[in-house]
Amino acid sequence: MPEASNKDNYVVGVDLGGTKILAGVFDASLECVGSAKLSTTAQRGLESVLERIERAVRDTVDEADLGIKQVSAVGIGAPGAVDFDNGTVIFAPNLEGWKDVALKKELEKHLGIPVFVENDGNIAMLGVHVAELKAKPRHAVGIFVGTGIGGGLILNGELHRGFNHTAGEIGHMVIDVNGPKCGCGNRGCFEALASRTAIFQRIKAGIKEGEKTTLTETLGDNLEDLRSGDLRKAIRRGDKFVVKVIEQAAEYIGIGVANLVNIFGPEVVVLGGGVMEALADEMTAVIVKTAKEHAMPGTMKNVEIVASKLGDNAGITGAAVLARRGTK
Amino acid sequence: MPEASNKDNYVVGVDLGGTKILAGVFDASLECVGSAKLSTTAQRGLESVLERIERAVRDTVDEADLGIKQVSAVGIGAPGAVDFDNGTVIFAPNLEGWKDVALKKELEKHLGIPVFVENDGNIAMLGVHVAELKAKPRHAVGIFVGTGIGGGLILNGELHRGFNHTAGEIGHMVIDVNGPKCGCGNRGCFEALASRTAIFQRIKAGIKEGEKTTLTETLGDNLEDLRSGDLRKAIRRGDKFVVKVIEQAAEYIGIGVANLVNIFGPEVVVLGGGVMEALADEMTAVIVKTAKEHAMPGTMKNVEIVASKLGDNAGITGAAVLARRGTK
């Protein structure tokens, strides 16, 4: 493994998602001075994804008018169970089922600088805690709703990784034991009920059952290129079917919040990820109401439920924090 | 409040349950040197329960040939959300809906020695961690299945209380959003699916629907005085209906274990409480199998799932630890 270096003040944070790879260069004050985005195209295989991560890192460095030698380390958030110590992705259902991928080792070979790998939910929560939560709560939970649902726990002011470094897999908390099948093989996981994937499936199934929606007028009957932003526009047009589906997803998120508040007693619950970025105005009130209804009396007192303002940048910000800490 | 004293080496631990009050005197080496048990009879009202707790404490001290002046403090585990700092029971659904009961203050008035109050699940887990888990795992979860389901989290070797001191309310984690109604008002809580109350309800409902069971032969059609031990005996007699109900409860507990492992990443999961004490041999294999099926790959590696040997004494042991710490 290449040695960590303190000579340069730049780090790169990478958010490896099921759909896209986002990379950003951060300076010593954790300002993002350049970024790049590529599609993941996980179906093309592991080598292709590794090559694209490398390209995203090099592109963002170039974008910031820097050379790779001025970057002291790279942090990466990956969508699945990660062994932080050796930088292996143990299992990533949203990356065509990656298993035991030595991401750190492979990328260090490609890039020639130290690489640190962490679960994407953990890293996004680390980013939010360091860059956004000014009050530095001792205990906080992050729920990141995108292609899947990732989570991150801050306990006693530190990222909680747990015994196998796999803590924070809140997306696979079973909430509806007889519910829809999840990518992990179980039924009724949080992610199978309230992720973008679940929301889109429910909309497509509804259309097949004859539900009327303005989405088909703008995107065609197959809803090609459907994005979270289209749902926001449909709701603002008064689309009752989309309103209903989004309210239902918000209720599931509210139940997820209540479960986590009952179990951990956080001071702050952060809602983030692409779905929340697009639909926070539409969903937050229902989430808060449902969470309050489902949490035990006393557990919610003075607990804040907030939508993250970092949005899609939470992941790269946290990855930059990880890279910075790794080089210290 | 009376001053804490170090002069005497005895403390009393009390486990205040929905059905019974258990009290034990513990010496300096955390040996139980006397115990007493009374029914709670919560339906008689708050004053009656307070008087019975006091009586249980005095009875157990007398049982150990001691006087109350030789006891330096009392620890109490209460079944609900507890504010540890001021010793108030915020809400206890299994105590006829107690709300904001100043248990510490009231009992100190009655007993004249310092009293420390904690949630019963937290305190049982503290007892197990201090007295039973020799390896002192950094992160551990306790699931205590009795009248309800209580939980306790050990984080970095310490009891995790959370922001409002209400962490560990795992019994109200929703697992089946369309499931049976829970005492807390929600549907499909862990406790409404797998507690003794839930198991007994399922058995009684089955009998009404015409299920055949040997339980009615020994206890009559109304199953008066049904206890967890009767279920164990029925299973050993080959009672297929009881086997099915207990397997189903064990599956729910397995899903609960998987949720907590996915979210929190403990090293050890402890199963305790009256139901586990009576039925550990019958339930543990199904719990472990279901948990492994539902946990994400990698999260269960080297994680132990163990039935507590402290059984019903976990609560009073942890309460004694709390009392001891409180007087230091």
Q: Output the pLDDT for position B85.
A: 87
Structure confidence at residue A327 as a pLDDT band (50, 70, 90) = low
From the first residue on, what is the mean pLDDT of each consecutive set of 10 residues in chain B (328 residues)? 56 93 96 95 93 97 94 95 89 86 96 95 96 96 94 96 92 96 93 97 96 94 91 96 98 98 97 95 97 93 95 94 84
Calpha distance B121→B79 (Å, rounded): 8
* DSSP three-state, residue A49: helix
- Best CA proximity match to A78, nearest among A321, A318, A326: A318
Task: Supply angle C-alpha A11, A17, A22, rounded to 5.
Answer: 40
Q: Output the pLDDT for position A4.
A: 45
Q: Output the pLDDT for position B5.
A: 44
Calpha distance B174→B70 (Å, rounded): 45
The pLDDT tens digits for A180-217 are 999 889 999 999 999 999 999 999 999 999 999 999 99
Helix (H) or strand (E) holding A306: strand A304-307
Q: Output the pLDDT for position B183.
A: 85
Beta carbon pairs, A and B, within 8 Å: 167
Distance from CA of A111 to the nearest CA of B (A): 28
Calpha distance A25→A64 (Å, rounded): 7
Which residue in the set B138, B177, B266 is minimally distant from A176, CB to CB? B177
Q: What is the mean pLDDT of chain A?
A: 93
Calpha distance B242→B229 (Å, rounded): 12
Beta-carbon-side half-sphere exposure of residue B286 (alpha carbons within 13 Å): 17
* Chain A residues near residue B118 by CB distance under 8 angstroms: none
Complex ipTM value: 0.91
Alpha helical stretches, state H, B141-295: 190-194, 196-208, 215-219, 228-236, 240-264, 274-294
Bridge partners, A304 (sequence order) = A268
Q: Output the pLDDT for position B224.
A: 85
Helix (H) or strand (E) holding B319: helix B314-326
Calpha distance B175→B84 (Å, rounded): 28
* DSSP three-state, residue A166: coil
Distance from CA of A323 to the nearest CA of B (A): 23
Record the tokens describing residue A97, joined without a space. Answer: 């089922």
Which amino acid is located at A310 in the chain? L
Which amino acid is located at B284 in the chain? T
Q: Do B177 and A174 touch (CB under 8 A)?
A: no
The pLDDT tens digits for A57-101 are 999 999 999 999 999 999 999 988 888 889 999 888 788 889 999
Tell me the longest C-alpha to C-alpha distance in chain B.
62
Q: Output the pLDDT for position A3.
A: 44
Distance from CA of A71 to the nearest CA of B (A): 32
* Chain B residues near residue A148 by CB distance under 8 angstroms: none
